[in-house]
Structure 1
């Protein structure tokens, strides 16, 4: 495990939030520049994922770069907002071809922003793509549009990576890219090398998956291009601070990445509604650094031997000793 591991966060971690109860928000509104300034206060945070368009004002790419440079931050990815009101009936799967084209144009703009910042990928979270009711959609047509929409972008931008962040539901009751297996099926159907998965630890939990198993499956198919971590109570995508609820499963997730020599940014996707955003990010990264130390002391050969015998008690004892003595 490299001591130079990079840690990142979605810039939305440092925004303010609303929900259907506190419609006035959990704090004063912040611009993306405000959020970047807060991100710069987190020790060991070096990269951010940016929403596009930039929120909170009329900012140019140059404005954002100046703000990032002032905080010593780089960009890992750009997340186009293809889940807002205009896309209420879907982005790739919208029944209106004009709206589908609008989504394509917005993502194409985001691709140019990726190039400008020298980022790693365009992140696709088509949260409004899917359906809510029986008989609402033609499932064959919906899935075809999901695949064709991503495939067209990847074909037109072969120099860039496109990562799909799957999620079971919310805001749609059934999201089109809902699981690791379904997303891999879609990617294989697209058949292009620059399309992969961004695996959100909490989405895997929420979907009833084992995040470690999901990571292994994506790695085995050569499609794990990025990852986010957070935590939840499995009943909803709570986006809580990483390691607060499922520390052992999070450790197993990183063990799986390390065992497969997967390298990449350890990225936070958290929504600290009521918590101080800088403190929440700092706490999560402190835990991830403990995971890093635990991986360095974990006896991988002994864990493998226990796993070869399906010996849960021995494997868990080794994992618990490594993790709980590293914090």
Structure 2
């Protein structure tokens, strides 16, 4: 049975450069709405801007019978982090970023969450000769290393993204995320793989799954879609259907059993309907993969004649028989 979660910030008001979408609602109202969305029992909540106090959060989780997929710690919104938090040239700014992650681990421990995830979006650059890359990387290794070592029973997952809020983020691919964890050398860490980040970063998300699954590190996934040009957070399968099927195929192959968390923004579309589309399509593809002859598919892949593999895809995935 698939476990599906929602980043609960998307259940409330969201904004882009020009418009506001949907209505601002409280955490209790978000959790109440979760109970009406078919296919979900998990939440990813953002610390410290959405949640900060463990006691009322635990009460709300119990009230609505919800589990925590992850605590997402935000280290980009503070004014000090505009030029990077974990990679800042200023020791006190780096220390503040590390403190945010440690506090998120305290919060996760108190509410019974099993992981903290962090996407270092403020850590990157825009121009040539803007940063000393080696120094920035060492600062990131040391900052994340200190944060990851704290309460190590709550693993820290690093989410990579090609850009935003910086023109180019320092951790922008699965390979660099693995390199980062290799340099940190702290056991019990992981990588958060966002399907859309992988797509618009010109990766193949399925290959990223294989790379992470074959590494020594844990991994956790966010699901969505985009046009390959920007992180639009569309609902699943709308732009890259076959890539999403392959993504799920590799997750099934490697026996992924953590949450599929919807990092999807229902801007112009109904909130409930958008997230139910994610769940519905993901479950249908997962069940489809149970019903088709994967041994034959793998044999065709091994033979290397893609025209024959494509016939299999036509008949068994697209049902064009």
In the superposition, the TM-score normalised over structure 1's length comes to 0.93
Aligned CA distance change for structure 1 residues 49 and 84 (closer, same or farther; 3 Å): same
Unaligned runs of 5+ in 2: none
Q: State the alpha-carbon separation in 2 of the partners of residues 59 and 41 from structure 1.
A: 25
Aligned CA distance change for structure 1 residues 70 and 299 (closer, same or farther; 3 Å): same
In the superposition, the TM-score normalised over structure 2's length comes to 0.94
Q: State the alpha-carbon separation in 1 of the partners of residues 270 and 55 from structure 2.
A: 28
Aligned CA distance change for structure 1 residues 33 and 96 (closer, same or farther; 3 Å): farther
Aligned CA distance change for structure 1 residues 284 and 60 (closer, same or farther; 3 Å): same
Q: State the alpha-carbon separation in 2 of the partners of residues 141 and 97 from structure 1.
A: 13
Counterpart check, 1:102 vs 2:85: no
Partner SS for 1:45:
coil
Give the aligned partner of residue 37 of structure 2.
Answer: 42
Offset at 1:41?
A: 1.4
Aligned CA distance change for structure 1 residues 85 and 154 (closer, same or farther; 3 Å): closer
Conserved 8 A contact 1:195-1:223: yes
**Deviations 1:82-119, CA, capped at 9 Å, x for gaps:** 11142111120122221211111111111011112221
Offset at 1:54?
A: 4.3
Counterpart check, 1:71 vs 2:71: no
Counterpart check, 1:31 vs 2:31: no
Which piece of structure 1 moves more, 315-324 or 292-301? 315-324
Partner SS for 2:234:
coil
**Deviations 1:41-91, CA, capped at 9 Å, x for gaps:** 111201111001143xx8632222222222221111111111114211112
Counterpart check, 1:111 vs 2:105: yes
Offset at 1:208?
A: 0.3
Q: State the alpha-carbon separation in 2 of the partners of residues 61 and 157 from structure 1.
A: 16
Q: Which of these residues, 35, 51, 61, is aligned with residue 46 of structure 2?
A: 51
Aligned CA distance change for structure 1 residues 264 and 311 (closer, same or farther; 3 Å): farther
**Deviations 1:172-203, CA, capped at 9 Å, x for gaps:** 01101111111111111112221211110110
Give the aligned partner of residue 140 of structure 2.
Answer: 146
Q: Which of these residues, 287, 300, 312, is aligned with residue 306 of structure 1?
A: 300
Q: State the alpha-carbon separation in 1 of the partners of residues 104 and 316 from structure 2.
A: 42
Q: How many pairs align? A: 318
Q: CA RMSD in A?
A: 1.6
